Amino acid sequence: MKASFNPSLYLVTDSTMVSITELPTIVEKCVLGGVTMVQLREKTASTRAFVSIAFQLKEILAKYHVPLIINDRIDVALAIDADGIHIGQDDMPYHIARRILGPDKIIGLSVESYKQVEEANLLDVDYIGISPVFNTPTKTDTKTTFGIEGVEKIVAMSKHRTVAIGGIHLDNARPIIKAGANGVAVVSALMKATDPKKEAQKFKEIL
């Protein structure tokens, strides 16, 4: 059976911001502060290093019953029996991903246009990632930002749960939830925080 999940405060890791060896500590602090879901995104490590860090995070997150989602790499997700994957439009096509992972894994899909929201409505994805809401330095390959109005429009259009991502920090998180999104995905605001636990707590208070 598919695990239930709460995407309200969704941490997305970025090992270009911190060294991969620091990730377990930072992730655990974020969870202690209230992060409800974690996505491991790793674009440069070897498969072996990716699997190794994924195992470490899985062990930590299991203690807190926080789901671990792997970005893009279904092989890594299978290796560690992760809770699910998150795919973008350049990653594995959804139908193939679902066939490989089966019905019980969480699959999130990034949408970067309203047309892609409509296409996602035809799929049984578990949530869509509205990407990007705001301008962000961590993703340079996306073109237009949706803004709060875009989030409102997508929430109305989509039959799926929605998580907003892109340039989200303490000052702009609240309007996203007010616009109806089920969660905010946060990268640098948590990864780069001096005190990740306290920062996550502040997000919790706002949301």
* Known binding-site positions: 39-43, 71-72, 91, 110, 136-139, 167, 187-188
Nearest-10 Cα torsion for 67, 68, 72, 73: -130
Half-sphere exposure of 190 (CA within 13 A, CB side): 36
3 state DSSP class of 178: helix
Asked if residue 86 binds a second copy (CB under 8 A), the reply is no
Which segment (75-83, 105-113, 145-153, 185-193) binds a second copy by CB under 8 A?
Answer: 75-83
Residues designated as active site: 41, 110, 139
Which segment (74-82, 127-135, 149-157, 183-191) binds a second copy by CB under 8 A?
Answer: 74-82
DSSP string, 39-76: EE--SSS-HHHHHHHHHHHHHHHHHHT--EEEES-HHH
3 state DSSP class of 172: coil
| Residue in 25, 62, 93, 135 binding a second copy, rule: CB under 8 A | 93
Only one residue has tokens 């350049």, namely 90
Q: Which helix (H) or strand (E) holds 124?
A: none
| Residue in 74, 107, 109, 117 binding a second copy, rule: CB under 8 A | 74
Cα angle 80-108-99, degrees, rounded to a multiple of 5: 65
Closest CB 50 distance from a second copy, rounded Å: 9
Asked if residue 100 binds a second copy (CB under 8 A), the reply is yes
Compose the 166-185 pattern: x for residues touching a second copy by CB under 8 A, - for all others. Answer: --------------------
Asked if residue 73 binds a second copy (CB under 8 A), the reply is yes
Asked if residue 109 binds a second copy (CB under 8 A), the reply is no
- Residues in contact with a second copy by CB under 8 A are 46-49, 51, 72-75, 78-79, 87, 89-93, 96, 100
